[in-house]
Each structure stands twice: as structure tokens, then as C-alpha cells.
Amino acid sequence: MANELLKLANITVQYPGRHGKPELVALDDVSLTIYEGETLGLVGESGSGKTTLGQVALSLLQPTSGEIAFAGQPITKHNRRTVMDDMQLIFQDPYESLNPKHTALELVREPLRRSFDLSTATEMATQALAAVGLTPADGEKYPVAFSGGQRQRIGIARAIVGQPKFIVADEPISALDVSIQAQVLSLMMALREQRALTYLFISHDLSKVQAISDRVAVLYFGHLVELGPTAAIFENPLHPYTRELLAAIPSIGKPLIAQQRQTITVGTSWVEVTPGHFVRQ
């Protein structure tokens, strides 16, 4: 087993209720370990807590309770800034995440200006653009001149330029045309091998999660209900919610009309059914 890179222990995130409503529990006692060099797919329907978990993983959101460690080192207010230098985020909408007044080169170079001189930052940004398939000439263009897939390549270049260890990809292909999604996934997988990256890949598209992930974690309204190797999750789903998610994948010959949703019990015990395959029962 590879070394632990990110460890979330008993993470709970609560938001106060408004107008007399009860507080909202976005994450409820979630414990999760991500290992060096892997891609962990995180799935669940809207409102399940996927983005909240990604924000906690990046230390962008402080949990109500629980502990976070990165590379074996607990993250505290004293070392948070240093640890965050090893983390990056790939956004869902490649156009909304890019300043339209800056060129591609300027966008990729900008995160480096705090640590490097202009010449070094420019060289590193040019190399990052090349790594995602963009030329020096592309670096002089503005976001409006690029397609959606090319804009996401700029976003990926911006994420990798500082040589991070860990990247959260939050729905990174959902805003792209289907024909482009596979290209971006292939690029991400190639960069993972070339740069020893570790991904938390957040998506509602189970087919894409299956294609890119080594393991899959399933969130159900803030609860982690199943975790295991990708093949085990897709071939032998154990939690009722995981089975419901997989049953909802459209396929030829299957009616598109959804069946009536069954009552789902989260469970209270975290059980390892087969090596590395856990389910809440």
C-alpha cells in the first residue's frame, strides 16, 4: 500500500439553521484516507456533501470538528499556508474560473509570482502550458479565443504549474462537450503518471469515475456509506444507496422512467466486507 497523503478523521461540517430551522449537517463524522499516487473518485447526488468534502480536503473550509493530516503532518493554523502550497483545485467551469482580461500565459503564471521572479515564473508557466498540449502562441491568447476543452486545459496547467502533490478536481468535465471529456480525462491520467499527482475526482458521472478512479467513495447526505476498489464498487455494490446510483445509469434497453425511490438506511457500523471494501451497515 502506498503512503498516506491526506487523512480526514471524523470530519463533521455543520451550518447554523436560519429562521428557526434546524442546523444543516453537510458532513457527518466522515473518515477517509487518500494515498499517494491514486485517484479517489467521490460520488453522490447533489447535496450529498461532495464539494464540501473537497473544500475541507484543501483546507479551504474548516470543519466543525475532526482532524486533517497531510503527508503525516496534522494541519493547523500555523502550517496551513505551507501545506496548501502542495494542493490545487481544478474548477468545474473552465470559463468562469479564468479572468477574461488575462492571457493564458498570465493566468498560469499568476500563482507563481509570490515565489518566483518573472523570468522563472514565465518559463514554468510555458512548460505547464506545453504539458497540457498548448503552444507558446496559445499563451498569448485570451480565454474567449479558446474552446471549452482548451480552457479547461488552461485550468489544469494553472493547477499543475506549482508542482503540487494533491489536486481536487471538482466536476472538471461536466461543463464540456461529450467529445472533449475523454480527452481531458486522458490528459489528467497522463499528468498523474508524469508528475506523481494524487487526485480527488468529484463527479456525478459514474462512467467517468469508473474510467479514471482507483477507488471510489460514496457519499449519501453527508454520510460516507461505501468505499472500495473501483471494480468492487461497480461489480458488487453493497450499500442500498450505491446500488441505487448504479441502477440510475442509463443503458440501452432500460426504461428511462425512474423507479420509485426506496427508503435508505445509512447504518451505524463501518464494516470491511472484503479487503479494502468497506460499507456502512
- 138-186 pLDDT tens trace: 999 999 999 999 999 999 999 999 999 999 999 999 888 888 999 999 9
pLDDT score, position 269: 93
pLDDT per residue over 8-27, tens digit each?
A: 999 999 998 777 677 889 99
In a domain, 60, yes or no: yes
Domain range holding 45? 4-86+164-280
Angle, vertex CA 166, rays to CA 107 and CA 207, nearest 5: 95
Other C-beta atoms lying within 10 Å of the C-beta of residue 248: 13
Half-sphere exposure of 205 (CA within 13 A, CB side): 17
pLDDT score, position 175: 82
pLDDT score, position 93: 84
Over residues 243-252, the mean pLDDT reads: 80
0.85 exceeded by the pTM?
yes
- Domain total for the chain? 1
In a domain, 227, yes or no: yes
Q: How far apart are CA 232 and CA 276, in angstroms?
A: 9
Per-residue burial over 40-58, b if 16 or more Cβ lie within 10 Å, else e, is bbbbbeeebbbbbbbbbbb
In a domain, 178, yes or no: yes
Q: Is the pLDDT of residue 270 over 80?
A: yes
Share of the chain above pLDDT 70, in %: 95
pLDDT per residue over 27-79, tens digit each?
A: 999 999 999 999 999 999 999 999 999 999 999 999 999 999 999 999 988 89
pLDDT score, position 276: 96
Distances (CA, A) of 159 to 25, 150, 191, 241: 30, 14, 11, 33
For residue 26, give the CATH number of its domain.
Answer: 3.40.50.300
Can you state the angle between helices 148-160 and 178-195, rounded to 10 degrees? 20
Q: How far apart are CA 91 and CA 88, in angstroms?
A: 10
Other C-beta atoms lying within 10 Å of the C-beta of residue 114: 9
In a domain, 122, yes or no: no
In a domain, 249, yes or no: yes
In a domain, 23, yes or no: yes
Q: Is the pLDDT of residue 254 over 80?
A: no
In a domain, 232, yes or no: yes
**What is the pairing mode between strands 4-15 and 166-170?**
unpaired
In a domain, 101, yes or no: no
Q: Flag the least confident range among 20-34, 120-134, 209-223, 266-280.
A: 20-34
* pLDDT, the chain, mean: 92
Distances (CA, A) of 151 to 16, 127, 166: 37, 16, 21
